[in-house]
Structure 1
Amino acid sequence: MKLMTKLSMTTLVASCGLASAAVADVKVGLIFSLSGPGAVLGEEMRNGVELAYEQLGGKLGGVDAELIYEDDQRKPDIGKQAAEKLVRSEKVDFVIGPSFSNVMMAVHRPVVRAKTILISPNPAPAPLAGEDCNPYYFAVPYQNDQPAEAAGTYMNDHGIKKVYLLAPNYQAGRDVMEGFKRTYKGEVLGEVYTSLEQTDFSAELTAMKAASPEAVFAFYPGGLGIQFVKQYDQSGAKLSTPLYTVYTLFNGAANEAVGDAGLGVYASTPWTYNLDNPANTQFVAAYQEKYGTLPSAFAAMAYDSLRLIDGSIAAAGSADDLKAVRNAMTSAPFQSVRGDFEFNTNNHPIESMYLGQVEKDENGQYVLSNQATIVEHMPDAYAGECKM
């Protein structure tokens, strides 16, 4: 897979007449889950990066750039090996990735210890936003807890008094549930954590229905989420108990895989395809033209990640002084597809959160469509613990 992804990038460079790796002035390593059960996320992220790279003419901040892909297979030990290879052997200037929080916890230290800038296009574990924050680490999408905190706020505002919680038992699953409980004021009837490898949820759904909650809040990313939502629908639970989640499921190819089972499900999210701002309008149109489908939030955040590097090098005036580039990066010198975006003091976003709902658009595509703004200019809960 590593060979295939490198060949894919080489083909892109050649077909677009871009600068070759041999003369690149900036090297960006990308660690994504490109095979196995997490591949649906990694492939969307790669799409977003390659679209941004193509639009920028193979340059970042006006200088020639090379992209080097590594596949972590959603395994922390392989992710760590990839990180060490990129910073020691490839000597990259930036790392974008990985796709999952458990891999991020393994990747983070070897990258920032080498004083290489690490940019997360998806996971943002709580420890890295608080006590273990680092000036070389930036989270572009959100902090893991934030969308769940917004979901809890929304349920409070709409009188939902009893909920049932389900998530996989790993860093992001625990972060998301802690975020939800931080804001939700009602009664939690059950809090269930399942294996990250589990795909049969029949026992958990039977127990949930017996508890008779008013709503369910669940977090299952990638292929796990596709299976969970299908089984939720097949169990008949959706007819009486609305399902809430966060945006990590209902995006791009996953929408088609879930199909009608996803219709009506709610998700709190920092981005939807129909956010009305110029950067997003341009991005969605370009993505559809290139890939023939609507983009996912994973693609959008990876797209923003590469454009953050581009804007930061341009603002610093050179790629030679990476300290100046890092300092420029704190001011987020680019137009995000979210529109409303800035970095807090812990290099995590302050941004708005929206309520999305899965529906079919006029072309019959399954989409997560913006229904309402839940909260504006939302900081994360851990910034005060960051002492950098």
Structure 2
Amino acid sequence: MNRTLLAAAAALAIAAPSWAQETIKVGLILPLSGPFADYGMQIGNGARLYMATHGDTVAGKRIELIVKDDTGTAPELTKRLAQELVTNSHADVLAGFGMSPGALATAAVATQAKKPMVVMNAAASVLTSKSPYVVRVSHTLPQLSQPMAKWALANRIDKVYTLVADFAPGLDAGAAFKHAYEAGGQKLLGEVRVPVSNVDFGSYIQRIKDAKPNAVFVFLPPGEGTIAFMKTWAERGMDKAGVKLLGTVDLVDDSIVEAIGKPAVGAITAGHYSTAHESPLNREYVAAYAKAYGTKMRPNYMSVAGYDGMAAIYTALNKTGGDTDGGKFVGALKGAKWDSPRGTVAIDPDTRDVTQTVYIRRTEQREGGIYSIEFDKFADQKAF
């Protein structure tokens, strides 16, 4: 880690450009308004912090971010913004993508324009198969859900019900958990899907409670709906009934866990990053993030994906000598590996997806707040 991390965070604004330098334009498409605006803010914060730390010049060329807001809920807008970035702004690299529908819609643009597309959050499994120019640095839901199911099996947790959001990542999460859980000899007690924008969970939780499960596996995108679910879970007495709450990183995301409050305590989740991750690099990252953006906002897994997305871009450009040709750029990332605040990450040369450690965490009340504390792990998990 660059020893000037904290100093860079304090002076986050990137230095004025040298007009003699050639510029590489990175079109960063993020949800900066609407229900998923926190996604875009966190990803953008991580990306800018990486640039503040490592400088805005790679292979003698200046990096310029061109940020666009796609609201996260309109795939055709995401696609149109990508087309405009390529055609009008002459973007060399497309990046960002908070939600899977928008990223899936944009893959065709990357293919047609032969532009690298660095995905910093969207987690639908099929995404990298939609274009040879897509590289993902975040995660897939099966990459998290399968270890969660294996942990449940190892700990003899039976009578499991699942509840997932009814869109591609949620369906991926539910299917992967079910496949791994049933492959281990258990059967699900029941399954339910909910609209992705749902905030009223009373009837769903009551139906699950009436089935008398021992545990419930949940995937919901972090936000208002997740907070509502967790509060309803406690109100319906699920925790007092001894029902274990299992989920992915999204369920107790660092950006919302304090808003959830006490109902989050005791949740067991599988995730690839926690603010509380114990490593020197992460401690530096968390301190730099706080210095740059304030102590009221924690870095979460999306911020780290933004940070690592820029790490991927810099890695590729260093290898190509600044050449942004789509084939050369993607080729340079196949098999690439680097140290991240979440641990070591690598790009699978066959799938162009991320390989990383998935941690099993318990949400606990600690001095200073509520955190997801890692106590087990599944190393070198490939995305699928």
TM > 0.5 fold call: yes
Q: Which residue of 2 aligns with 1:229?
A: 230
Q: Give structure 2 stretches of 5+ with no counterpart.
A: 1-9
Q: Which residue of 1 aligns with 2:209?
A: 209
Q: 1:359 to 1:13 in 2, by over 3 A?
A: closer
Q: Distance in 2 between matches of 1:269 and 1:329?
A: 23
Shift of residue 204 of structure 1? 0.2
Q: Which residue of 2 aligns with 1:315?
A: 319
Q: 1:142 to 1:14 in 2, by over 3 A?
A: closer
CA deviation string 1:39-94 (max 9, x = no partner): 12221111111111221222345521111111111221211111111122112111
Task: Tell me which of 257, 260, 265 is aligned to 2:262.
Answer: 260
Secondary structure of the residue aligned to 2:342 is coil
Shift of residue 237 of structure 1? 0.9
Asked if residue 54 in structure 1 is aligned to residue 52 in structure 2, the reply is yes
Q: Which residue of 2 aligns with 1:332?
A: 336
Task: Tell me which of 168, 172, 177 is aligned to 1:175.
Answer: 172
Asked if residue 346 in structure 1 is aligned to residue 351 in structure 2, the reply is yes
Shift of residue 181 of structure 1? 1.2
Secondary structure of the residue aligned to 2:256 is helix
Percent identical residues = 27
Bigger CA drift: 184-193 or 267-276? 267-276
Q: Distance in 1 between matches of 2:282 and 2:318?
A: 21
Q: 1:286 to 1:14 in 2, by over 3 A?
A: closer
Q: Distance in 1 between matches of 2:289 and 2:11?
A: 18
CA deviation string 1:179-232 (max 9, x = no partner): 111211322122111112211011101100001111011111122212211211
Q: Which residue of 2 aligns with 1:360?
A: 365
Q: Distance in 1 between matches of 2:20 and 2:370?
A: 42
TM-score scaled to structure 2, two decimals? 0.89
Shift of residue 164 of structure 1? 0.9
Secondary structure of the residue aligned to 2:338 is coil
Task: Tell me which of 136, 159, 162 is aligned to 1:162.
Answer: 159
Q: Which residue of 2 aligns with 1:199?
A: 199
Shift of residue 122 of structure 1? 1.3
CA contact (8 A) 1:60 1:309 kept: no
Q: Distance in 2 between matches of 1:295 and 1:216?
A: 27
Shift of residue 311 of structure 1? 1.6
Q: 1:341 to 1:267 in 2, by over 3 A?
A: same
Q: Distance in 1 between matches of 2:346 and 2:146?
A: 19
Q: Which residue of 1 aligns with 2:253?
A: 251
CA contact (8 A) 1:244 1:266 kept: yes
What is the count of residue pairs matched by the alignment? 366
Q: Which residue of 2 aligns with 1:282?
A: 284
Matching residue's letter, 1:169: D
Q: Which residue of 2 aligns with 1:98?
A: 97
Q: 1:183 to 1:22 in 2, by over 3 A?
A: farther
CA contact (8 A) 1:77 1:106 kept: yes
Asked if residue 379 in structure 1 is aligned to residue 378 in structure 2, the reply is no
CA contact (8 A) 1:267 1:357 kept: yes
Q: 1:214 to 1:148 in 2, by over 3 A?
A: same
Q: Distance in 2 between matches of 1:319 and 1:274?
A: 37
CA contact (8 A) 1:84 1:110 kept: yes
Matching residue's letter, 2:164: A
Bigger CA drift: 260-269 or 200-209? 260-269
Q: Which residue of 2 aligns with 1:7?
A: none
Bigger CA drift: 144-153 or 21-30? 21-30
CA deviation string 1:259-315 (max 9, x = no partner): 222111121012223334443332222112212243101101111101111122112
Shift of residue 366 of structure 1? 2.0
Q: Distance in 2 between matches of 1:14 and 1:365?
A: 27
CA deviation string 1:223-254 (max 9, x = no partner): 22122112112221122211111112323331
CA contact (8 A) 1:116 1:136 kept: yes
CA contact (8 A) 2:144 2:270 kept: yes
Q: What value does the CA root-mean-square deviation take over the aligned residues?
A: 2.2
Q: Distance in 1 between matches of 2:381 and 2:147?
A: 9
Shift of residue 98 of structure 1? 1.0
Q: Which residue of 1 aligns with 2:122?
A: 123
Shift of residue 322 of structure 1? 4.7
Task: Tell me which of 36, 39, 48 is aligned to 1:38.
Answer: 36
Matching residue's letter, 1:236: G
Matches of residues 288-303 of structure 1 in structure 2 within 5 Å? Answer: 288-291=290-293, 292=295, 293-303=297-307
CA contact (8 A) 1:62 1:314 kept: no
Q: Which residue of 1 aligns with 2:83?
A: 84
Q: Distance in 2 between matches of 1:138 and 1:212?
A: 42
Asked if residue 18 in structure 1 is aligned to residue 19 in structure 2, the reply is no
